[in-house]
Structure 1
Amino acid sequence: MATPAEQLPPGWAAEWLTWNATETATGRTQWEPPAPQGGVAPYADNAPTGSPPPAHHHAKRRQYAAGQTQAYYGGGGEAILDPGYLAGQADSTWGSAALYAWQTHAAPGVAQPQYYAPTTEPEYINQPGYGQQQPATYGQPVDNLANQFGGMGIAGQKGFQLYTTNLLTSPPDPRDLQIPPPEIRLPPNSCISPSPTANSDPSYQRCTLNAIPTASSLLGKAKIPLALILTPYRSLKEGDEPVPVITDTVIARCRRCRTYINPYVQFIDGGNRWRCCMCNMTNEVPQLFDWDQVRNQPGDRWARAELNHSVVEFVAPTEYMVRPPQPAVYIFLIDVSNTAVQSGMVATATRTIKENLDRIPDEDGRTKVAIICFDTSLYFFSLPQGTTEASMLVVSDIDDVFLPKPNDLLVNLAEARESMENLLDKIGNMFQENSIIGSALGPALQAGFKLMSPIGGKIMVLSSSLPSAGAGGLLQAAVPFYKTFAIECSRAQVSVDMFLFSSAYQDVATLACLPHYTSGQTYYYPAFNAGRAEDAIKFAHEFGEVLAMPIMLEAVMRVRASRGLRMSSFHGNFFVRSTDLLAMPAVPLDQSYAIEIQIEETINTPFVVFQTAVLHTTCYGERRIRVVTMALPTTSSLSEVFASADQVAIATFFANKAVERSLTHKLEDARDLVQKSLIDILIAYKTSMTSGGAGASAQLAISENLKMLPVLTLGLLKNVGVRQSTQIPPDLRAYAQALLTSLPSQLLIPYLYPTFYSLHNMPPEAGEIGEHGVILPPPLPLTSERLERHGLYLIEDGQTMFLWVGRDAVPQLVADVFDLPSYDALRGGKTTLRKIREMRRGPYYPHLYIVKEDGEPPLRLWALSALIQDRADVLPSYQQFISTLKEKVSST
């Protein structure tokens, strides 16, 4: 049998020997690989993306008449169109869309949904049979928790009520997407804490099933995939509870499976020992566990955060480090070819960097930055100390990239602030007359890598054309450079973000490999032209938000689960370093991951636990471990399996599987896989949960909690990333696929099933502050049947917003919203309206298009394509889709 050192990845043996000596001295018997060179760290800091406006009391809103001939009435003052904060679902999970409300005085107030914000980060440890993932559960109110303790027995007791619905007679109701997933009902005494935050909120971690089948055969009967959807570093909005940070470096872990102590362990032997909830191993309680180091006196064990919160963050002691925490490093690779300069990208990018220098995380004053420009040559900038002027060094030999100077290229941001501002002011003028057409992106990446590889960090690429010169040129097919380079970056703790701007083909599919394998993100701005204010504003906003985002550096993530469960496959932006260890050089906020789970042996426990751990360095130089713990009951009842299914998590998983299949097979295979998966669930439900009575043939049955899954699946099949069409440009499809595999559920669900609001006849209370935040107008089903000729409507999917104006819109409505005298004076197309705000997490700033009912046909068709319940080209309507499903289910 191989020794632990022999099982490590190449090059880690020496590190393991150092670690092993430490572990042996402390009496530990289990080994785990050390952090990769450079340590590990995802970022867990809060990334405020703007505070909501203060709440106001509003005068009565105007109600526009049902026809042009009716009187237009309302209160005094100017009515405005205001995208207010959309507070989202009543259960404190995810927000939804932008709310447009007009009112006579002040903008609608904004109330933030409440989220439990646990903090935890995983560490890397490869323990066969125990490295597993955790599902997400809600933070339950105290009264729910009391009910849980009192009413829920062991597996099989009546916890989940199954209600059947007939899809043929129950059209989709968008409000059902705001309902929380089925409640997690744990057995009594499974949790040692009465805290409502003892189980993880779905915004951090959720499972496709909130009751885990005790056997794989039972899971096979249900045909529902078992998977975790993780967003361990979701952003915190105003009002969110911060993730508790445990600073005393007392970290209790199971000796065998390395699980972190959590609210689901048991204390035994008078509290001197604890039993692991994963593997049942008995462990000693650390001596300082009950000691308050701040006050230097005995502490209250039951007040410790790790026993009361599902998400916590430990400040890691030195044994969790291979080297001291490294500073945050940002290298900007800016395309300065003729195309990039003429589009205004260079001027917009440099101005945005300059305006956001204060927002780049640098609390400890250690952050380093560098700028490298490129066309078919490389342009380095030396910023020596003691001067405010930069000198440019040109490297035209791109076949053998070298750094023209050993130092002063990568500089301390605080110390070289004035020099950096001066350089950013001048870059636009330096290349204003550049006539060179071509891109040496590959050599530029190699140069950036050479500059930062000793430390690690983030490379931000801004590219306006297809790479054509040197390594990584994409003028020929099947270039392996980017995938190979991405793996090198992952090893050196280097992450890459891509900002792509080309008006011609840019091969987004190939370039997106770099962010995919290095835990970065891809942003795409087709046909970018800074001469259009809307284009410049969108890019500047998103780029600025990314610059301001706290990043977690040198991160590794592992998911553990109770005995009998195994993580089988992983989806998302990372590199799988070993069987279940995910390497993420720099983790961005609000990036999502999906992990499939296999049931390997019969589960005999009344509940199971999943625990995600992320070992990382914060961008402020502190080594931490974020831990997210989730407990779910087990069941041997097929009806409980169906009743516990989370349709949002399943749809998120389907999106990841579809993209994976499209890359390994064909797009048609991806669509077939998704549709077959849905049909299998419907057949399983019909076979097991419905009787074969006289009315059975007249229905398409599914459990009530899954009734939106068919329309979400249809939305996925009609999404640009998967849709059957020869008209979709490859770059747009590739970008959509990047979104499908990285967006958290809060952003992904509206991307699949856009939000549709009627704005001309909203209820009077719309925009007011209610019990659960801003009161929204009722969302409409996505069908053009709801469009009225005198109406005004908002359709948005988080990436694009359409404001649909009916041809008979009341003139005063047009005047209030657009400050124009009539519908005829209104121009369709891309625009910006005042008081537009983003309501969801993430940096995205959707483009807004005004769509006139009798306006440009391409724009009208694009907007109408978001109404996915309608038929479009060869794509079926929802009713046709349901009829097809019924035929396939009935023929089985």
Structure 2
Amino acid sequence: LGNLNLNVASPARTTVVDLLQEKHPIPSECLEPPVVTLPRPYDIDLVSSDSSVLRCTLTAVPESPTVLKKCRLPLGLILHPFKDLKKLVMVETSIIVRCRSCRAYINPYVRFVDRNWNCNICGRANRLPDEFYYNPQTGKIGDPSLRPEIQNSSIEFIAPAHEYENRPPQPACYIFILDVSARAVQSGYLVMFRDVLLESLRLLPGDNRTIIGFIAVDSFLHFFQLRENLKPKEFVVSDVDDIVMPSKSFLLFYLDDSMDAVESFLNDLPERFADNTDPKCALGSAITAGFELIATIGGRLTVFQTVLPDIGNGSLTSREDPNLRAAKEVTNMNAASDFYKNLALKCTERMIAVDLFVLGDAYVDLATVCKCNFIKMLFLFFLNSIAYVICFQGDVVTYSSGSVYYYPNFDACSNPVEMERFRSDFGRYLRRKIGFEAVMRIRLSYGLSVHSFFGNFFVCSSNMAKLSNVNPDSAFGVLLNLDDNIDQPVVCIQAAVLYSTCHGQRRIRVHTICLPTSESILEIHNGADLPAIIALISRMAVDRCLSQQGTIQMAREASINAVVDCLYAFRSASGSREFGTLLCSRNMRLFPIFILALLKCKAFAHGYSIKLDHRISAMLQFKIMPISNMILELYPNLYALHAISESNPVAPLLPLSFEKIDRHGLYLMDTGRYMYLYVGQGISDTLCKSIFRVNSYKEINSVTVDLEDENGKNEQGMLICNFIRSITSDRLQKVPLRIIKEDSPSKELFLTRLIDDRSETSFSYVEFLNFLQKEICGK
């Protein structure tokens, strides 16, 4: 370890922070992982490397299980394997070089010895094929270390068909299942669905084999035959308990051959059901029908829901008691039926993903439709002094590697904020890259093993997960075991995703990282990756809640114990016994505030009314959120916009405390999914005219503001709008902006996100620190 030099301090130079001396910490917008300096010969300069696709919670890995136990930190991974990467190198070769023993892919951290290469995962010596001396990027024969596989930590191979195909790659297949009940029609979503799909229809990922189909559902199932130069033909199935479907050849069609017919159908769609007064919805039967349609192909079911499925297969009754929403223990978080569990297993077997768009505030029982208590495996592990029981959930969304999109209070006429969010999300959903029939495998150096997975997929074996679809917006968590002592200066971790493109090509995307090992507890704490730790703990907390025996209170206690044990371990390792302090390493100083934010978020909060579907939706989002999204969701960025000027065009970042709010100010809160523009009652008339185009605060009556409209804006107004655009310019979806006036009922949306402040049922940040100090002193 003599050559090991992390950019974090060594034990003798540890940077220690007393948390009690910082009343209002401000998490920066970009919380990058600690930079790692590897010992020779692993300290290589890579052409491209993106830490966001594969992050380990500890950038200095403990050398033994004993050291890991003393650290009291979770060892795990956050993977974002299909993320849109600007510099992803593509390699097409006749031979993909892999280890003959562990089957790891050749990567930058292997060692070349003569004409052999030593695997950095298992250590086996492998013969280097002659073809590997040819560089496909330069077209020259020479040094194998210059090959793109050795120069890039993330790489994508075009797989040879004979080696990586069990069957011909499936075509892109998209089935849209539309709730057309009376509530759905009243919400106006069909118009928005039509508009966005028409805009994206010719941009859907696929080729001339792309297949599309539509099913509408109320008390009946409505199927449609669309052919060029013919009017759409509708088939209505009234028996939703025993479905007899028309021939698949009528209901599935190639998009290229039927483009005009599809566009004509979509244009008439809202009008077709405009007078529908049927309040019921046979959603379970509709999803079953969609599955039967493409069971021999695979693909994606996109489901839209506005009401509880109350007729046909998988029908449900309301289980929510409004009087218990604020209870300390939340009931009915487990599934009411096995129907969706069984359907999920069928979808997974046939490589069909199910994505659910829930629109409106009606109770739809997401706990059943999107989370059923099918236990595939049971793991028992001990972290932070308490036992977790992780139950792998089987449901129509999670097992099929789908996603849930939730839009409470959606109404196309009266709620422009949710309408804009739906438009943006659905547009991105339709046009983004997609991978079909995917498999993800994790390979680890000796001593490490996969303990459990967190995310939306089906776990096939101890280190492999099956994904019906894979998309660039979903991330996954992995908890690792340290089974044995590590006698090497580094460990390596490799994640590989084999998938089919929408053009029918098999590809393998491989990500590899190398990390130093350490026996020093202080060094390990100083190299801890806090955002990755928070992302992993939040996923573990969600699984704790959704397990059969789990409760929200257990998840809350586990999260608190995580930070207590971390601070206690650091204090013990540092040898400090100074009275009246709460010490931690500098890079972990935000751990308490993020845990406090986790306790206050909709998923885990108690003591105030939260609708059950709202809570379940928040949990499901945590399961797949990339790190950057999760950090903003937990602790939003708060900017003082009124402080912007020509000499200072960047708004200062503020802690989330009402103590920092001035009644004369204008503030922007960025939660990632929403932006709130908080307007103090004392705001100047000049800003009102420039930003809102009204004469005074009292005249502000709109819910949103158009940042693109430059008419009437003075210099400061232009600077403010430019700043807001600048912080969202690199986001893949448009973030809706909502105006919140100081004296409006919607003020609560803003106040509940002020994490530093005390509420009726939760600590302020300072009170939480004092509580942690007492817990540590009591150990």
User: Per-residue displacement from partner, 1:374-411 (whole Å, max 9, x unpaired)?
Assistant: 11111111123x53422111111212223212303111
Contact 1:327 1:620 in 2 (8 A): yes
AA aligned to 2:109 is Y
User: Could you tell me how far 1:636 is from its partner in structure 2?
Assistant: 1.1
Distance 1:247 1:626, change over 3 A: same
* Separation of aligned partners in 1, 2:617 and 2:31: 30
Give the aligned partner of residue 683 of structure 2: 809
Residue 261 (structure 1) aligned with residue 261 (structure 2): no
SS at match of 1:358: helix
User: Could you tell me how far 1:172 is from its partner in structure 2?
Assistant: 4.2
- Equivalent residues in 2 for 1:748-787 (5 A)? 748-762=630-644, 764=646, 776-787=650-661
Residue 800 (structure 1) aligned with residue 679 (structure 2): no
User: Could you tell me how far 1:300 is from its partner in structure 2?
Assistant: 4.7
SS at match of 1:470: coil
1:501 to 356, 359, 369: 359
* Separation of aligned partners in 2, 1:314 and 1:291: 16
Give the aligned partner of residue 486 of structure 1: 344
What is the aligned-residue identity percentage? 35
* Separation of aligned partners in 2, 1:157 and 1:333: 55
Give the aligned partner of residue 702 of structure 1: 584
* Separation of aligned partners in 2, 1:841 and 1:427: 34
Give the aligned partner of residue 74 of structure 1: none
* Separation of aligned partners in 1, 2:742 and 2:50: 42
User: Per-residue displacement from partner, 1:586-609 (whole Å, max 9, x unpaired)?
Assistant: 112121111001110100000000
Give the aligned partner of residue 586 of structure 1: 469
SS at match of 2:178: strand
* Separation of aligned partners in 2, 1:293 and 1:716: 48
AA aligned to 2:682 is D
TM-score by length of 2: 0.89
* Separation of aligned partners in 1, 2:764 and 2:8: 40
Give the aligned partner of residue 201 of structure 2: 357
Contact 2:5 2:37 in 1 (8 A): no
AA aligned to 1:652 is A
SS at match of 1:174: coil
SS at match of 2:356: strand
User: Could you tell me how far 1:523 is from its partner in structure 2?
Assistant: 0.6
Distance 1:862 1:155, change over 3 A: closer
* Separation of aligned partners in 1, 2:364 and 2:258: 34
* Separation of aligned partners in 2, 1:154 and 1:188: 13
Give the aligned partner of residue 321 of structure 1: 165
2:75 to 223, 226, 250: 226
Contact 2:9 2:15 in 1 (8 A): no
SS at match of 2:367: helix
User: Could you tell me how far 1:347 is from its partner in structure 2?
Assistant: 2.0
Give the aligned partner of residue 619 of structure 1: 502
User: Per-residue displacement from partner, 1:426-447 (whole Å, max 9, x unpaired)?
Assistant: 2212211111111111111111
Contact 2:4 2:516 in 1 (8 A): no
AA aligned to 2:739 is I
Contact 2:137 2:148 in 1 (8 A): no
1:395 to 201, 217, 237: 237
SS at match of 1:705: helix
AA aligned to 1:419 is A
SS at match of 1:342: helix
Contact 1:466 1:502 in 2 (8 A): no
Contact 1:369 1:412 in 2 (8 A): yes
Give the aligned partner of residue 216 of structure 2: 373
User: Could you tell me how far 1:211 is from its partner in structure 2?
Assistant: 0.5
User: Could you tell me how far 1:846 is from its partner in structure 2?
Assistant: 3.8
Give the aligned partner of residue 861 of structure 1: 748
User: Could you tell me how far 1:528 is from its partner in structure 2?
Assistant: 1.4
* Separation of aligned partners in 2, 1:624 and 1:160: 47
Alignment RMSD: 2.2
* Separation of aligned partners in 1, 2:613 and 2:9: 51
User: Could you tell me how far 1:292 is from its partner in structure 2?
Assistant: 4.9
Give the aligned partner of residue 40 of structure 1: none
1:573 to 452, 456, 462: 456
User: Per-residue displacement from partner, 1:277-308 (whole Å, max 9, x unpaired)?
Assistant: 11111111122111356887635523311101
User: Could you tell me how far 1:843 is from its partner in structure 2?
Assistant: 5.6
User: Per-residue displacement from partner, 1:855-890 (whole Å, max 9, x unpaired)?
Assistant: 22xx11221111100011211100011110011111
User: Per-residue displacement from partner, 1:153-182 (whole Å, max 9, x unpaired)?
Assistant: 799995995211000002343254535322
User: Per-residue displacement from partner, 1:772-793 (whole Å, max 9, x unpaired)?
Assistant: xxxx433111101111111100
AA aligned to 1:411 is F
Residue 668 (structure 1) aligned with residue 553 (structure 2): yes
Structure 1 stretch displaced more, 594-603 or 717-726: 717-726
User: Could you tell me how far 1:518 is from its partner in structure 2?
Assistant: 1.3
User: Could you tell me how far 1:765 is from its partner in structure 2?
Assistant: 5.5
Distance 1:755 1:468, change over 3 A: same
1:597 to 445, 456, 480: 480
Contact 1:589 1:842 in 2 (8 A): no
- Equivalent residues in 2 for 1:455-854 (5 A)? 455-475=297-317, 478-513=336-371, 514-532=396-414, 533-664=416-547, 665-692=550-577, 696-762=578-644, 764=646, 776-827=650-701, 829=703, 833-834=707-708, 839=728, 844-854=733-743
AA aligned to 2:304 is L
- Equivalent residues in 2 for 1:316-465 (5 A)? 316-317=159-160, 318-362=162-206, 364-384=207-227, 386-465=228-307
AA aligned to 1:210 is T
Structure 1 stretch displaced more, 503-512 or 745-754: 503-512
Structure with more contact order per residue of length (Cα contacts < 8 Å, sep ≥ 6): 1
Contact 1:245 1:312 in 2 (8 A): yes
1:235 to 76, 81, 84: 84
* Separation of aligned partners in 2, 1:678 and 1:436: 52
AA aligned to 2:365 is D
* Separation of aligned partners in 2, 1:296 and 1:647: 43
Unaligned runs of 5+ residues in structure 1 are 1-147, 768-775
AA aligned to 2:696 is S
1:886 to 773, 776, 779: 773
Contact 2:174 2:213 in 1 (8 A): yes
AA aligned to 1:576 is V
User: Could you tell me how far 1:728 is from its partner in structure 2?
Assistant: 0.3
Unaligned runs of 5+ residues in structure 2 are 320-335, 372-395, 710-723
* Separation of aligned partners in 2, 1:265 and 1:390: 59
User: Could you tell me how far 1:851 is from its partner in structure 2?
Assistant: 1.6
* Separation of aligned partners in 2, 1:846 and 1:305: 37
* Separation of aligned partners in 1, 2:288 and 2:699: 53
* Separation of aligned partners in 2, 1:534 and 1:853: 18
AA aligned to 2:89 is P
Distance 1:535 1:705, change over 3 A: closer
Contact 1:229 1:592 in 2 (8 A): yes
* Separation of aligned partners in 2, 1:154 and 1:232: 25
* Separation of aligned partners in 2, 1:553 and 1:687: 49
* Separation of aligned partners in 1, 2:579 and 2:588: 20
TM-score by length of 1: 0.78
Contact 2:56 2:75 in 1 (8 A): yes
Q: In the comparison of the two structures, how many residue pairs are matched?
A: 720
AA aligned to 1:490 is T
Contact 2:284 2:315 in 1 (8 A): yes
SS at match of 1:289: helix
Give the aligned partner of residue 374 of structure 2: none
SS at match of 1:601: coil
AA aligned to 2:537 is F
Structure 1 stretch displaced more, 341-350 or 435-444: 341-350
